[in-house]
Amino acid sequence: MPDDTRSVYAAEDLLAGWLDEARRRPGSPLRITAGREVLELEPETEPRFTDPAHVQDYVDRVLAHLVATDSRYDDGSGLDLATVPVVVRPRRGDRQAHYERGELPLRGVMAIPPREIGGAWSLRAAVVLHEVAHHLAGVDGHGAAFRSTFLRLLEDVGMPVLAELLHTAYRLSGLDTGIDGEDRTLLRIGRLLRQAERTSNTAERDAFFAKAQTLATRHQIALAVARATAQTEEQRQDPAWETVLIGESGKRSLARYVRLVLEIARANDVRVAIYTSNTRVTLYGFPSDIAVVKALYASLVTQMVADGDAHLRSGAHKSDTRQVWNARSRRWEDRPVHGSTARAAFYEAWADHVGDRLARARDEARAAAIAAEPPVDDRPTSTELAIRAKEVEVVDYFRTMQREHGIRGTWKGTASAGHAAPGSHEAGVRAAARARLGTERAISS
């Protein structure tokens, strides 16, 4: 097995340089050229530390966060290494930081040179998390298992942009992370969505959703450009279709779940055919886009239902009333709308506004990708042409499948409940729109 240590250190030197540049220019995005791709990223703030005791506090909080969010790092024997403490001690030499696994499974030991002997370079999160990754990887060395663990750790502690920078540095240094580009993108999207599900902070949660959609759009653009420049048909990915179960027949709110699928699909260049029972939908598009739609839907529908349940439990929906005839007193009375009506109004507004957020994230990612390519006269850029070609290919494929599958008619959903329960409708708007769209809140120093 080759020793990748030098290449890993070279890659992490690149990362440190980028983070130092970002620190010197707060608020300005980093522009990094990686082959033909130009990345424009705004990394999370990298925590810095004063001494090994400060590092100890940070490491304790990182491991506690992993345990609290059920981010397991199994050593192969059933032991979750995130539950094993790491003791930080000062190191006598100033040239290296290192991790010692000799006292496992009782504890791991991290040695960090203090500032007084010239160890200021090690008192930063990139170095400390490198050593934590050694603890969690369960193997020695800097091979693919270590690198994948380090990338996953950055994502699990709320630093997905730093993970993307590190992944780029690895690629520029000639390293394989052990996961191909397609699977890695879907893996990262899945982790962002799991982070969204685990947090109780609505602003953080929706920021994770927006980041997942931005990442998905960047990935879709990259694949579209690759398809447009493929030399042979064998290198091209063709459109496909896949049927997805929404719910069993008779289950309530199926039409609102379908509405959420439609909003997600619209933001990801996927066309949808809907069964008349609303129990299933068939997705038409490129396989990678279909995978993104399924991942987003699985997470978002969970959040929509949780938000709706919280709204009904709060009793706020009872402020919406309807007039009911009381035969005994022979008069009209105001009574709260039924819970099912309030839930329907809430879901409608939630789906519509989350759809708007995903569409904005997609449009911003597309605009950034197009702006990063130098214009040629007044002609469209190659990125614009690739995006348009992809859209046309999906539309043509869907029309062909409509004929072959006998798809007819237009889905009209169900009658809107927003007018009957305007308070619940507004609550759905607030639940979907109160987030800050920005980088995720990472574990701070």
Helices 339-371 and 254-266, packing angle to 10 deg: 10
Are the CB atoms for 279 and 247 separated by under 8 Å? Answer: yes
pLDDT in tens, 99-132: 999 898 899 999 999 999 999 999 999 999 999 9
Handedness of CA 147, 148, 149, 153 (dihedral sign): positive
Weakest mean pLDDT among 72-86, 169-183, 372-386: 169-183
Each residue of 141-194: pLDDT tens digit?
998 889 989 998 998 888 878 988 898 899 889 886 545 454 556 556 656 665
Helix (H) or strand (E) holding 411: none
- CB-based contact 41:365 (threshold 8 Å): no
Q: What is the pTM of this model?
A: 0.54
Give, in order, the Cα–Cα distances in Å from 391 to each of 182, 237, 269, 441.
Answer: 20, 14, 7, 34
User: Which candidate, 24, 59, 22, places its Cα nearest to that of 42?
Assistant: 22
304 or 231: whose pLDDT is higher? 304
Residues 251, 373 contacting (CB under 8 angstroms): no
Identity of the highest mean pLDDT range in 174-188, 260-274, 410-424: 260-274
Q: pLDDT tens digits for 196-209?
A: 655 666 666 667 76
Judge whether 199 and 70 are in contact, CB under 8 Å: no
Annotated domain spans of the chain: 4-176, 182-235, 237-434
